[in-house]
Amino acid sequence: MRADRLVATLLFMQTRGRVTAAQVAAELEVSVATARRDLDALSAAGIPVYPQPGRGGGWALVGGARTDLSGLTATEARALFLLLGPVATASSETKSALRKLLRALPQPFRLEAEAAAGAIVVDPARWGESDERPPALVDELQRAVVRRRKIRLGYERAGQRTRRLVDPWGLVDKDGTWYLVAGTENGQRTFRVDRIATVETTDEIAHRPEDFDLSTAWSEVVEEVERHRSSLSATVLITATLAPVLRKQQGRHCILDGPTGDGRVRARITAPTPLMIAQQLAGWGAAVEVVEPESVRAELARLGAELVRRYRFTGE
C-alpha cells in the first residue's frame, strides 16, 4: 500500500540523511518513477522533504538524519497524518504503520496527529454525477476538524440559506463529492460541502464523542441513504457499449446483471419513486428500454408526451 511506502520512505530518509530516488526504489523494491512520486507526495503534504539539485544531490529531510520522528513539528506531523489517514482503512498493515508512526511522535503532537488521521474518509462509490474537484472550503473545514473548533456554516439548500453552529467531526470524499459529518443541537448531521457558502471557524472547542469513528459513522449514513434511494427497482436493457456509461452515471444505483444475447445488457436501476427513475433515464432516449415495472414505463411515456407538446416542430 502507498501509505506503508510513504512511512517507510520517511524513515529511510531519516536514517540516511540524503537519498536519491534510485536508492529509495532499491530499498523499497519499487520503480524509480514510483519512488519519485512518493517523494513528491511527502513534500507536497508539508513534510520537510526537498530535492537537492546538482552533483551529489538527491532528496534530503531538512534537519538532518534521525532515527525517529521526534524532529517533526506539530504542523508537519499533522500534514503527514492527513496524507496517510484516508487510506488507513485499506489494510491492517497500514493501520499498524500509522500506530507505529504515532508512537514515535512527541507527546504534545499526538492529539492533533490522531485527529488528522481520522479526519477524512474516502468512499469511491459515487451517488450520481460529480465534478471531481474538491470545493475550496475543504482545507478550512479540515483544519477545524483537526483543531476541534466549532464552525459557523452558511448552508444553502432548496434555494434557502441558513446559519448553523456545528461541531465538525470529519470529512468524506465520496468519489469527488465532499461531505462534512458534524454534530449539531439535533444530533449528527451530514452536509454537502458544495452547498456550504461560508465557513467561520470560532475559538470554541468542538465536542466530539469519545467513541466516534468516522468510518463507522459514514457507513451508517450510506446505509440509511441507500435504504431510502433503493426502495424501487426497474429492469432495463441497454447496449453493451453504453452499459459502462450508465453504470458510471448511476453509481451504486445501477447493477449490471449480464448480457441478454442480442448485444444488450440487462441492468437494474434503483430510486425512491417511478418518476425519479424515469427522469434519470429520459435523456437516454431509445438507447435504454425499460422492461419493468409498468409504473416507470408510464412515467416515461408521460414525460415524453410533455416534451412533444412543448417542443413539437410546427414549421413546414
Supply the pLDDT for residue 6: 73
Task: Measure the CA–CA gap between 165 and 51, rounded to whole angstroms.
Answer: 43
Each residue's pLDDT expressed in tens, for the chain with a length of 316 residues: 466 677 677 777 766 777 888 888 888 888 998 888 888 877 776 677 777 776 667 888 765 434 345 555 555 555 555 555 554 454 555 555 555 565 555 554 555 555 555 555 555 555 555 555 556 788 788 888 877 899 999 998 878 889 999 999 888 887 678 899 999 998 999 999 889 999 999 999 999 888 888 888 888 888 777 776 667 889 999 999 999 999 988 887 888 988 888 889 999 998 888 998 999 899 898 899 999 999 999 999 999 999 888 887 665 5
What is the largest distance, in Å, between two alpha-carbon atoms of the chain?
84
Residue 162's nearest CA partner among 202, 203, 200, 197 is: 197
Residues near 84 by beta carbon (within 8 Å), at least 6 away in sequence: 3, 6, 7, 94, 97, 98, 101, 117
Supply the pLDDT for residue 81: 56
Contact 90, 124 (CB under 8 A): no
Residue 71, CA distances (Å) to 15, 55, 62, 110 in order: 13, 27, 9, 13
**225's torsion region: left (phi>0), alpha (psi -120 to 50) or beta?**
alpha
Residue 278's nearest CA partner among 302, 254, 255 is: 302
> What backbone torsions phi and psi does residue 249 show, to the nearest 5 degrees?
-65, -45
Task: State the CB neighbour count (10 A cutoff) for residue 200.
Answer: 13
Per-residue cell: 126: 459515487
Residue 37, CA distances (Å) to 9, 33, 47, 95, 313 in order: 11, 6, 14, 22, 57
Give the sheet arrangement for strand 254-259, strand by strand. Answer: 254-259, 264-271, 232-239, 288-292
Supply the pLDDT for residue 204: 92
Supply the pLDDT for residue 122: 54
Residue listed under C-alpha cell 489494510: 91
Supply the pLDDT for residue 68: 47
Residue 69, CA distances (Å) to 106, 179, 266 in order: 8, 32, 55
Contact 109, 142 (CB under 8 A): no
Residues near 255 by beta carbon (within 8 Å), at least 6 away in sequence: 267, 268, 270
- What the chain holds in terms of domains, given with CATH numbers, is 2-117 (1.10.10), 123-226 (2.30.30.520), 230-311 (3.30.70)
Instruction: Return the half-sphere exposure (C-beta side, CA atoms, 13 A cut-off) of residue 278.
Output: 17
